[in-house]
Amino acid sequence: MTVHIGAAPGDIAETVLMPGDPYRAKWAAETFLEDPELVNEVRGMLGFTGTWRGNRVTIQGSGMGMPSLSIYANELISDYNARTLIRIGSCGGMQSHVKVRDVIIAMSATTITSPSSGFFREINFAPTADYELLAAAVAAAKNRGTPTHVGGIYSSDVFYAERPDLDEQMVRHGILGVEMEAAELYTLAARHGRRALAVLTVSDHLQTGEALPSEDREKTFGDMVEIALEAAFT
């Protein structure tokens, strides 16, 4: 048990998928895992462990934003020895060729500030995905025929942004989409020598204002979960 995770030692698998939404953790575990068991419900941040094609997997909610993700990822790494951490979540599309429902596999994650910025101080650290996981996810997406983009994303620390000029700079620099967690996950994985990746579904688009209708979400999010699982066990 840790401060925020009630699981017993050994209840968490070495491979952890991390959606922001705890109910999406429940849905993904019940949909894709065999014999999923609830291993955490502290603060309602549900976590489940089961198996996928015979491999043990935990799906643990991270909450929204880097400070929340940082708490769960730190405890999963340091107290439960998680070795592969894959964020599965939604993002806002930032380029015209990126469409709602497409998948983004994040090679790098740009930030203004993250929970790690305080001690990096003058360093602009470049949070980067694990290459093996990235290559395996790209291959899995290609096999499935899922429209997929691979490149940089922006991990913002606000959903309701007051600086549209920042989004414009991200667009100018080819950033594919915006979310709120991946940069800290990549940073923590680098610090502790673990593997991390973010596989994201474009749920809305900053330029067109289009948003994924709720009835489409399950099928679209399902592709992302299966890409993440295939990447983890390739």
Nearer to ligand HPA, 94 or 141 (CB): 94
Site for ligand HPA in 80-99 (CB under 6 A): 90-92
**How many residues in the shown chain lie near ligand HPA by CB under 6 A?**
11
CA angle 92, 183, 84 (to 5 degrees): 105
**22 burial level (CB within 10 Å; 0-12, 13-18, 19+):** buried
Closest CB to ligand HPA: residue number: 92
Among 159, 169, 173, 174, binds ligand HPA (CB under 6 A): 159
19 binds ligand HPA (CB under 6 A): no
Count Cβ neighbours within 10 Å for each residue of 96-134 and write b for 16 or more, e otherwise.
Answer: eebebbbbbbbbbbbbeebbbbeeeeeeeeebbbbeebb
Q: Helix (H, G, I), strand (E, B), or coil: what is residue 187?
A: helix
207 binds ligand HPA (CB under 6 A): no
Q: Which residues, 6 or more positions from 119, have their beta carbon under 8 angstroms from its beta carbon?
A: none
Which one of the spans 119-127, 128-136, 202-210, 216-224 is the region binding ligand HPA (CB under 6 A)? 202-210
Nearer to ligand HPA, 70 or 90 (CB): 90
175 binds ligand HPA (CB under 6 A): no
Q: Could you tell me how far CA 87 lies from the centroid of its own chain?
A: 2
Eight-state DSSP code of residue 226: H
Q: Which residues, 6 or more positions from 75, have their beta carbon under 8 angstroms from its beta carbon?
A: 2, 3, 4, 5
179 binds ligand HPA (CB under 6 A): yes
156 binds ligand HPA (CB under 6 A): yes
Among 11, 41, 204, 210, binds ligand HPA (CB under 6 A): 204
Catalytic residue numbers, as ranges: 204
Nearer to ligand HPA, 79 or 204 (CB): 204
Q: How far is the CB of 3 from ligand HPA (least distance, A)?
A: 26
Distance CA 211, CA 225 (A): 20
Which one of the spans 28-36, 48-56, 122-130, 198-206 is the region binding ligand HPA (CB under 6 A)? 198-206
* Length of the chain counted residue by residue: 234
**64 burial level (CB within 10 Å; 0-12, 13-18, 19+):** middle
Which one of the spans 49-57, 101-109, 172-180, 219-227 is the region binding ligand HPA (CB under 6 A)? 172-180
Residues at the interface with ligand HPA (CB under 6 A) = 90-92, 156, 159, 178-180, 203-204, 206
